[in-house]
Amino acid sequence: MFKLWLEWDMGQDGSIFSTKDKAIQWVNAAVADDSELQEEFPNGYNDLADSGLCYIEQLNIDPTY
């Protein structure tokens, strides 16, 4: 499971993604839906991550809880 951190709250808080790729797809779709972000970060997740404005954290799930 993966948690997405963005500099801005774009509705991702509280969401957990089953794969890193799905989290990246979510970011890319969110950027594509915002013309200002799309202009500033045309490569979506890659541009945001390179700028330190976004990262994906792998979560450890303890099956005993």
Residues in a beta bridge with 56: 4
Report helix, strand or coil for 56: strand
Of 41, 4, 2, 35, the residue nearest 18 (C-alpha): 2
In this predicted structure, what is the pLDDT of residue 9? 78
In this prediction, residue 11 carries a pLDDT of 73
- How confident is the prediction along the chain (65 residues), in pLDDT tens digits per residue? 999 999 887 877 789 999 999 999 999 999 999 999 999 999 999 999 999 999 999 999 898 98
Half-sphere exposure of 32 (CA within 13 A, CB side): 7
